[in-house]
Chains A and B, each alone.
Chain A
Amino acid sequence: MKKLISLVLALVMALSLVACSSTNNQANNGNASNNGGNASDDGGDAAGQLDTDNPIKIGYLAWASGADAYMGLVAIAALEDRIEEINANGGLLGREVQLIWYDISADFSESVNATNKLINQDQVDAIIGPDGSPFAITLGSIVEEAQVPLLPNCGNAEVTINDDGSTKPYVFRVAPQNALTSITMAHYAYNEMGVRTVATLSESTNISTVEAVDEFVKEFEALGGEIVAQESYMLNDTEFRAQITTIAQAEPEYVYMPAAAYKEVCNFAIQLSDMGYSDSIKILGTDGWYNPDALAVAGDALDGCVVVSALDMNSENIAPMVEEFAEKHADLNASLHLYALYAVNALQFLEYAITTAGSTDGPAIKQALEETTGVEMITGGSWYFDEHHDPVGPEFTILSIEGGEAVSLGVYSVEQ
């Protein structure tokens, strides 16, 4: 029996090795056509003739398993909803739109493998994501060679810029740069809130939080403010009381914490309030972690916290989307978050570019994206790309958290 099972196991392994590429191909096609099939069922009646044989394929690099799986799973659901809508309205150029997503969370090299797979095997017309900078930085040359536009929703400068300062031709960022977010926060804190002493807290090996803190410190000190303490924590940390005690001794008014995930901020805020510092020290945050779920977890511990975000979750455009999403995707146990909205905006850029260019040709889409002077986003505002392929149009909203609710204090931009 044992031998038999091991023989079967070995055979299955061997077969899947031999048929590695072909099975994958079939499986994916099957999967994609399933998704598409559903969508076209809905759309078939409305639009009449939707070209389902020759679909427009959009790839998405998702962070869909592991500790922060909600990042990708929510974005996938949001993108699929949007694509369903597009197909119900007759698709793009009369063709059906399909989303093909791959998980990239198991290892660093996965973003390269998944991109190669999307380009080579699925022959996608454009790729959205990934939402993490270390996974996006390396993709510039791959998509350039294949002439497939990539629209990552992450914030590091190097995602769109090469070391020599040139712009990566096929990469278009759809989220604000870390530096811009930090600078805006520094200016708002110094000029509008009158804050003079700030401590910083970053995740020691996380590229995004380290960059964000560096930029904040530079800008805030240039403005004349004082950074009284710089503390950090490790990946997967939940215990912050040692840092809090040190920070409290330095007596800052605020702590700038651009965390990559909201659980760290929740734990930090809860411990801050437990130790009795919640009245004297508050958090300055970024959209890197701002998520409606954070407020639910931390409760009133986050009160008084000020967050800078490129999208206003309370706006008349977005608030209904969040509610609708919560109703439709209750099984995900996670709210619609900013990074999913950035991905949806990327999809809108692609809709615009494909319709304008009249083709799904990589260079044509790229040209349309470069030449656009503004695409109306369902999240509000009109966005376009500057010469470095960074988005222009996202307006930083300042949110203040009061009584467990985020209240918008209005739009703020740094005067140049």
Chain B
Amino acid sequence: MELFVDILLSGVAQGMVFAAIALGLGLVSRATGIVNFAQGAMGMFTTFIAFSLLSHGVGYWPAFVAALALGAVLGAAVERTLIRPLQGKPALNPVIVTIGLLIVLEGVAGSIWGNVARGFPAAFSQRGLVIGRTRVAFSHFDVFLVCAVVVLVVAIVALFRWTNLGLRMRAAAFSPEVSRLLGVRVGRLFTLAWALACAAGSLAGLLVAPLSSFSPYYMDLNLVYGFTAAVLGGLLSPVGALAGGLVTGLSIAFVGGYVGPDLQPIAALALLLLVLMVRPQGLFGTSEVRRV
């Protein structure tokens, strides 16, 4: 029973990280129609910058904010310089560019910081909370992690639903040509979507770094699980990303706890294939009619 509860709680914490990644993937996918495979690596890179700042004596929170801001800048820069020129080309090309970016960032990070597994400090204590008389596998840091992702999701939902900017972003994604005719600066909004997505990726990187062995490759698996979460959630709605993240996190945690941690990626693959075969639009997506 205790094992079950511990697995459940760690699954929730993990799922929140996947939800943040899925949210970023969804933002980019909705705006520019591609999957950004460099999302995890970008989060890794900004987290390493935060790590450097921390080791030079900067406080945790300034480093945290700097990493988020850098993530946004990096996302915007990538959209402007690498993705924008490929508009109108086959969808394969920008996807291959993001894959290239993934290994460039990992290579650069590896040659700067080296491929050693380090520890990344957490903002709060990582000792499990005591509930009743038992210590559960859920710490103050996990509480912060869950809150941070929920705040992120609420903020994105609010942005899209209640602000003029969000309305324009939705319009630009829905029909770029018509929006452009109506005076919406579509290109800028796509850049903004990339910036937001990569800030979300940075948040995920910062939150998951203390939970994993912190090396240039630590986001690879997280990206894959985040991708699963994004597909489960239908890639379009922030709430879907949250739900997809939780389902993925819990599935991974239970497979890891009861079967074996080495089977986690295969289990996620099986989950992903199952969803794609049965409900290709995702558990929470709506299907789109494609006309020829």
Partners in one complex: no
A-side residues, CB < 8 A to B, are none
B-side residues, CB < 8 A to A, are none
